[in-house]
Amino acid sequence: MNTIDKIENKSAVIGIIGLGYVGLPLALAFIEKGFKCIGFDIDQSKVDSITKGKSYIDHIPSGPLAQGVNDGLLEATTDFSRIPEVEAVIMAVPTPLNKHFEPDLSYVTMTMDSVAPYLRKGQIVSLESTTYPGTCEEELKPRIESQGLTVGEDIYLVYSPEREDPGNAHFSSKTIPKVVGGTTPACAEHGKVLYESAISSVIPVSSTQVAEFTKLLENIYRAVNIGLVNELKVAADAMGIDIWEVINAAATKPFGFKAFYPGPGLGGHCIPIDPFYLTWKAREFGIHTRFIELAGEINRSMPKYVVSGTMEALNERKKSLNGSKVLLMGLAYKEDVDDMRESPTFELMDLIKAQGADVHYYDPHIPVISPTREHANWTGYESTEWSAENIASFDVVIIATHHKAFNLQELVESAALIVDTRNALSKNGIEGKPGQVKKA
């Protein structure tokens, strides 16, 4: 029985490497369709949690996960020697930037190096991690073929970019259309069959390079438009104009305009990082992506703009940031999730601490800061207690992320000064006392 037959009759075992915000929901999508799924991760704590049927991601409930474990459809391991047991090897590992804003493919290449010795004929290898066009051809294919396997005949190599949006109640792994590109037509067909077995809509494209570029375009589009509105915010502030009112008015146009909103900086696993993958690759072809780089420069400047606005607001009260007690509300990079990857709140905390302030954070979704690649200095720091008395003890409170769990009414009743970077108060019809609230 060949691989496609096994997928179609659901006897295929699906292997997913990387059990984070992308890999875990994808595993659940496959087991929901009746497939057995083996999850691979180097983090033993994730493996242990799955074995106990407990989710470690805030917006993913434990119920379906525990059901999958109890039904024998889901298991997790750190043992890569079990790769021969699966028909599909789906890699969902981090692709960060290094300190020079260049792609760091070490997680991808190390994973492929760990997997390659265990590959066997008939398997599908799919990369979902965001990367630059050419990664599958230039990095994965040679590593696979170094094992004596021919891509397109023995192994089917595809690229299918993840499109996860943590906390989005309207879309999930199984309903977000899946772009799939193969190294060869045979690879593309195997990838299409694989993903159609669990995802409601699959969009085939002509190559892995097209699929890789597609993911970058999606997030560059967002990064550039957010950069534009961040720049407009700075200009509007200088003119004494409320940019939020401007955006809401413009959004009433039923065509030709899509609303993007300013903020304290970019966060998450995609928008702050992905554009620079294309910028780096474009240099190989003598292309200078000025538009992308300018947007990145503007977006990276926003934390400093917020700190400057905070200092100005304190100065108006005859106080300095140095020596002040500061609370950051919201550590997660977006509302109502526990995902703190690339969160601009970390940058705000670093900048404010460097000014000599006493910095704290409050986030009910993140009670304690776990280790991160870029901000290890905050590891173990705990969310402050929420109480009217505690909030009143801060010289300034900065709303960096707006969670629905926040009690904004109690905030305005207790806080001496609020810097609102998300328009959270106005959006919810809450007015502070005169001079209490500053938008930044």
Strands (E), 114-264: 124-127, 156-159, 178-182, 202-205
Give me the mean pLDDT over the 297-312 stretch: 96
What's the pLDDT at 171? 80
Specify whether the CB–CB gap between 29 and 199 falls below 8 A: yes
pLDDT of 244-266, one tens digit each?
Answer: 999 999 999 999 999 999 999 98
Specify whether the CB–CB gap between 310 and 321 falls below 8 A: yes
Q: Do domains 3-206 and 221-439 have the same CATH topology?
A: yes
Residue 37 annotated to the active site:
no
Residue of 37, 136, 187, 270 with catalytic role: 270
- Give the span between the Cα atoms of 345 and 336, in whole angstroms: 15
Percent of the chain with pLDDT over 90: 91
pLDDT range class, residue 268, cuts 50, 70, 90: confident
pLDDT range class, residue 329, cuts 50, 70, 90: very high
What's the pLDDT at 192? 98
Residues 6+ apart with CB under 8 A from 191: 124, 126, 156, 158, 160, 180, 181, 182
Q: Tell the CATH superfamily of the 3-206 domain.
A: NAD(P)-binding Rossmann-like Domain (3.40.50.720)
- Give the span between the Cα atoms of 296 and 290, in whole angstroms: 10
**Is the pLDDT score of 169 beyond 90?**
no
More reliable by pLDDT, 154 or 174: 154
What's the pLDDT at 52? 96
Half-sphere exposure of 140 (CA within 13 A, CB side): 34
Half-sphere exposure of 41 (CA within 13 A, CB side): 22
Give me the mean pLDDT over the 276-300 stretch: 94
Closest CA to 166 of 43, 269, 29: 269
Specify whether the CB–CB gap between 343 and 403 falls below 8 A: no
pLDDT of 339-360, one tens digit each?
Answer: 999 999 999 999 999 999 999 9
Residue 382: strand, helix, or coil? strand
CA dist 202 to 172, 179, 219, Å? Answer: 14, 6, 19
- For the chain, the structural domain boundaries read 3-206, 221-439
- Give the span between the Cα atoms of 8 and 183, in whole angstroms: 22
Q: Which residue has the tokens 């179609």?
A: 8
Spell out the long-range contacts of 380-385 with Cβ–Cβ below 8 A and sequence spacing 24 or more. Answer: 383/331, 384/327, 384/360
Looking at every residue in the chain, the average pLDDT score rounds to 95
Closest CA to 324 of 290, 357, 291, 370: 357
**Is the pLDDT score of 275 beyond 80?**
yes
**Is the pLDDT score of 174 beyond 90?**
no
What's the pLDDT at 274? 87
Give me the mean pLDDT over the 371-388 stretch: 93
- Give the span between the Cα atoms of 209 and 390, in whole angstroms: 53
Closest CA to 327 of 363, 365, 372: 363
Q: The tokens of 439 are what?
A: 């938008």
Instruction: Strand 202-205: give its sheet, edge to edge.
Output: 74-77, 36-40, 13-17, 88-91, 124-127, 156-159, 178-182, 202-205
What's the pLDDT at 271? 82
**Is the pLDDT score of 173 beyond 90?**
no
Question: Regarding the domain delimited by 221-439, which CATH topology (the fold level of the hierarchy) does it fall under?
Answer: Rossmann fold (3.40.50)
Specify whether the CB–CB gap between 60 and 28 falls below 8 A: yes
- Give the span between the Cα atoms of 328 and 338, in whole angstroms: 15
pLDDT range class, residue 272, cuts 50, 70, 90: confident
**Is the pLDDT score of 170 beyond 90?**
no
- Give the span between the Cα atoms of 141 and 25, in whole angstroms: 27
pLDDT range class, residue 267, cuts 50, 70, 90: confident
Residue 436: strand, helix, or coil? coil
Q: The tokens of 117 are what?
A: 């010795």
**Is the pLDDT score of 202 beyond 80?**
yes
pLDDT of 30-78, one tens digit each?
Answer: 999 999 999 999 999 999 999 999 999 988 999 999 999 999 999 999 9
What's the pLDDT at 168? 78
What's the pLDDT at 147? 97
